[in-house]
Amino acid sequence: MSTSRKAASALISVFHKDGLEPIVRKLHQLGITLYSTGGTESFIRDLGIPVEAVESLTGYPSILGGRVKTLHPKVFGGILGRRELADDKGQMQQYEIPSLDIVVVDLYPFEKTVASGASEQDIIEKIDIGGISLIRAAAKNFRDVLCVASQDDYAPLLALLEKAGGESTLEERQAFAANAFQVSSHYDTAIFNYFNRKAGVQALKVSEPSGRVLRYGENPHQKGMFFGDFEALFDQLHGKELSYNNLLDIDAAVNLMEEFRQDDPTFAILKHNNACGVATRPTLAEAYRDALAGDPVSAFGGILICNRPIDLATAAQVNELFCEVVIAPGYQADALELLKGKKNRILLVQKPLTLPETQVRTCLNGLLWQEKDAKTDQRDELQQATKTRPTPAETEDLLFASKICKHTKSNTIVLAKGKQLCASGTGQTSRVDALNQAIHKAKSFDFELNGAVMASDAFFPFPDCVEIAGKAGIRAVIQPGGSIKDQLSIDYCNENGIAMVMTGTRHFKH
């Protein structure tokens, strides 16, 4: 049994016609009979190429405002008929059903219509019925039919036609079929998620139609891929291919800097998803200098991000550090030229973006879903817990530290002073350990903690943290509150002139 098939006919019915003309001309040149309907039929006729109307095949016009055009046994029989099965061949002859060997179909732009803010009626009309049915039928019968299910497959189809003159192998048809089912499943996922915004069906449908193979996963012995449209968020101007760990760090960096998007020039340096340096200053160069001072050791090989275009003065400092990635909303020409001097340094321009509102991660034999922590602690929501009130400058530092704390692995304590990260304790099994780590680290880089502030991602179950912080010179504290022993921490602060505010919001990050 031969697995190669030479096409004699093709059904073409598409929404997107860009790139279609060379395919139509090639099919005609190869002597392949064309069937079409509606706008695609008119498009082919306007090229001066003969085409059979689907209506003449079925004996029915397009009806119900175009909702029913191809849903007919003479169309689906021509696609689903098994060419080497005698019973199928006999029925096709009996009912005068022609074989349709190539099916070129794409789908109404449902996702784009939703994203445009269109009315519900317009959205509903973009739920494709005939197209999705044709795709599933043609892909199911891949042993005999070549299915082209999206505009992305126009170029591969044209290359195949030019190479093989209308013939295709079983492997080639199966590859096109796999992509067709990817297209149809993604389409159905988008429709389900639209309806489920109100229905509340407890099911999770996630579909990312584009992916890239990474050099490896978290470690060299692990395979890795990224699924998503990275180019929609960034332009890569220079550097090597992004790695799995680069992408995780970039995600952490972007989410952190989103907190400072409207602030004065701010620079952050991250390592293993946690900030090791952050500073807000009048100029970007000053912000970078003071962010680096937060931990110049950990900054080696780190991820750098800022909320202003990088100028030459800032680039000159950055250029002295070995770093994996630099992310900015732009670069001055001379700054970019300087930073390109290191061939592997990845330089990214971050485009205006809207970050996802939900998060998904694997867990046991399933998935965990949650809303993203979109809550940023605000000045007017702070609850004064102690007799001593924070000064305006301390309040600024408390909010600054809280933003960093929210994006640091729990348990965490963040120490800050003058809108500069002094140190953080990250990912510790006890809050006391996180605090001691932060104090030790700050002192090792010669930070003066007298007058600094402390942020905690969760409440203090005992007064030990405020006691240790007070002895280190901390003068103001921000924490969620909510412990049954909150009063013990409040009492210590009152006795020692430490200001404490509570937010009512925990910011665990695991």
Tell me which residues are annotated as active site. 140, 272
| Residue 304 burial by Cβ neighbours in a 10 Å radius (0-12, 13-18, 19+) | buried
Using a 10 angstrom Cβ sphere, with 0-12 exposed, 13-18 middle and 19 or more buried, the burial of residue 13 is buried
Structure tokens belonging to residue 242: 């992004």
The answer for residues whose C-beta is within 8 angstroms of residue 477's C-beta and 6 or more apart is 398, 453, 454, 455, 456, 466, 469, 493, 498, 499, 500, 501
Peptide bond into 196 cis (omega under 30): no
Q: 73-80 and 130-140 helices cross at what angle (nearest 10)?
A: 30
Measured distance CA(335)–CA(122) in Å, rounded: 47
Task: State how far the alpha carbon of 289 is from the alpha carbons of 123, 236, 280, 439, 498, in Å.
Answer: 51, 24, 10, 21, 30
Which runs of E-coded beta strand occur in 417-479? Answer: 421-425, 453-456, 476-479
Residue (of 367, 376, 277) closest to 318 by Cα position: 277
CA dihedral for 219, 225, 229, 235, sign (positive or negative)? positive
Tracing tokens 């199928």 back to the chain, one arrives at: 88
Among 287, 264, 255, 291, which residue's Cα sits nearest to residue 423? 291
Q: b/e per residue, 472-496, with b = 16+ CB within 10 A?
A: bbbbbbbbbbebeebebbbebbbee
- DSSP E strands: which ranges in 364-420? 366-371, 383-384, 413-416
Residue 350 contacts residue 327 (beta carbons within 8 Å): yes
The answer for residues whose C-beta is within 8 angstroms of residue 410's C-beta and 6 or more apart is 427, 457, 458, 508, 509, 510
Place of tokens 């998007």: 261
Residue 282 CA to residue 291 CA, distance in Å, equals 13
Q: Transcribe 308-372 into DSSP letters.
A: S-B-HHHHHHHTTS-EEEEEES-B-HHHHHHHTTSTT-EEEEEPP----SEEEEEETTEEEEEE-
C-alpha–C-alpha distance, residues 174 and 340, integer Å: 44
Distances (CA, A) of 157 to 45, 103, 153, 202, 475: 21, 11, 6, 39, 69
Q: Are 77 and 97 in contact (CB under 8 A)?
A: yes
Residue 315 tokens read as 């680039």
